[in-house]
Structure 1
Amino acid sequence: MPTPDITPGAPCWIDLMTSDTEKAKSFYNALFGWTYETGDEEKYGGYITASKNGQMVAGIMQKQEDMAQMPDVWSTYLRTDDIKATTAAATANGGQVYMEPMEIPEQGSMAMYADPSGAAIGAWQFGEMKGYELAAESGAPAWHELLSKDFAAAVGFYENVFAWDTSVVGDTDEFRYSTLGAGDDAKAGIMDASGFLPEEVPSHWGVYFAVDKVDSTVEQALALGATVIQPAEDTPFGRLCTLNDPTGATFKLVEDLKLAG
């Protein structure tokens, strides 16, 4: 398959911050067929790159001791061509800077923000590493979705900070949803989650992985130590399921992804 067309502002990378890298590697290898390469400890802090059929799809990193109280989590990164300007815009548009721009030797530069609804989102400026090399294929990231408790503020933030050209998919109290791009060209979505996210659950980004069959993948995931958070169901956008991996990081599955026209 051709390398995904990752335009500025679009999701370009995902990584997992985990309390147990070996357990995570074993789980996703068995579930998705991922293979791994571990970066130099001094240069890259032992950052692990996951590949599917020889093409990069994700990263895995060990959670530091000072973050022990934080849950294991998958993060999404959006492409920027000027990470310093993006960081300034994030602050100017109601966001917080969790991590100032940091250059990763030879690879690119990263930063981490909280949008105005409190969801963490990363930014990545290409160097030699130009994002994941496989998308919307079995075992690779297929969709990125923000569940936001402040929908209007979130949409404005991504439009102003990452220059999103948004398209309205739904605008009712029951289903309020906008996407980056429209129809088959959509690359990510924002959902108004104010009506259903529990008080203790903050706004957050989620990653969907494409699979050939959701139900059989869920069965396999359970046998490998995963937990179902939201059972598999048919939706207008494909058959979906939400799980926690064996260390508690939430991820989602999608079979036959359909994007709104």
Structure 2
Amino acid sequence: MKDFPEGAPCWADAMFRDAAGAKRFYGEVLGWTFGGAATEYGNYTQAYSDGKAVAAIVPPMPGGDDMPSAWCLYLATSDAAATAEKIKAAGGNVLMEPMRVGEFGTMLLAQEPSGAVFGCWQPGEHRGFEKMGENGAYAWAEVFTRDPDRADAFLQQVFPYAAQRMEPGDDPAEAGMDFKVFSVPGAEQPVLGRLRMGEDFPPEVPPYIQVYFTVPDCDAAVAKARELGGTLYFGPMDSPFGRFAAIADPQGAAFAVIDMSTTAGEMPEMSEA
């Protein structure tokens, strides 16, 4: 498979205290199967859709039992050490310095200045997502922040992003919306979105990155998630990009599902930002 361009999302994983419960939930909601736990790497367990690697789950690290479950998006880098220095220079916080993971690659964890946590991945044998935009696989991600100016400046200082702003349409729900998309050289489509968190987000919800997974039927996925103890946060809602909903699994990890085959409305106009 081809390499991911610098700054493009290339992998996602999540930490769960109840790994078996996470497997049951995502196996039924997204149709995932799971490989064996890699004991030499903290029981890191890859998830597969149609035999292709699409994500991973991992138990908490020693001393991390009180950390909340959350999905982490990894952005591609060709030099993790250099990216870590860029993150620091741009006002971000490196939570975990670059760490080599055997022959698979090198990872780091960081936090952009407004608070959203993300990872970076320098590939070795593990290149990243083996499929995208298909049922059971990663589809899209958005940075949710209350300080878009700081987040935007940081992202464009660390990665080779070109930004476009989405112009609000006639829908009253879009009034006051501040949404941008970022593109990188070598990618045919935008690779990342950024949304300003408005008053509809409870103040206790910190900035985060929402990861979208593709499903064949949004409503069915939501129903299954709720049946298994998940929580519906938003939607299902129709859009020009697909019918989507924001949910959380029973352990509190938030994510979104989207049926990209069910679209409604015209594509929004974009302007250079």
What is the TM-score when the length of structure 1 is the normalising length?
0.92
Counterpart among 225, 229, 244 of residue 229 in structure 2: 225
How many angstroms apart in 2 are the aligned matches of 1:195 and 1:53?
A: 40
Partner of 2:6: 8
Partner of 2:27: 29
Partner of 2:206: 202
Give the share of equivalent positions with the same residue, in percent. Answer: 36
8 Å Cα contact 1:112-1:123 kept in structure 2: yes
2:55 is the counterpart of 1:53: no
How far has the Cα of 1:260 moved from its partner?
5.0
Give the letter for the 2:178 counterpart.
R
8 Å Cα contact 1:170-1:178 kept in structure 2: no
8 Å Cα contact 2:167-2:268 kept in structure 1: no
Counterpart among 243, 250, 264 of residue 246 in structure 1: 250
Gaps of at least 5 residues in structure 1 are none
The 5 A counterparts of 1:45-84 are 45-64=42-61, 66-84=63-81
The list of structure 1 runs, each at least 4 consecutive aligned residues, that deviate by more than 4 angstroms after superposition, is 257-261
The 5 A counterparts of 1:124-203 are 124-170=121-167, 174-181=176-183, 185-203=189-207
Give aligned pairs, total.
258
Change (3 A) 1:232 1:4: farther
Counterpart among 248, 255, 259 of residue 259 in structure 2: 255
The structure that is strand-richer by fraction is 1
State the Cα deviation string for residues 161-186 of structure 1 (Å, max 9, x = none): 12212222247971111112299711
Partner of 1:122: 119
How many angstroms apart in 1 are the aligned matches of 2:234 and 2:135?
A: 20
8 Å Cα contact 1:18-1:72 kept in structure 2: yes
Query: What secondary structure, in the 3-state scheme, does the structure 2 residue paired with 1:8 have?
Result: coil
- Cα RMSD (Å) of the superposition? 2.1
Give the letter for the 1:84 counterpart.
A
Give the letter for the 2:129 counterpart.
Y
Gaps of at least 5 residues in structure 2 are 169-173
How many angstroms apart in 2 are the aligned matches of 1:203 and 1:197?
A: 10
Partner of 2:171: none
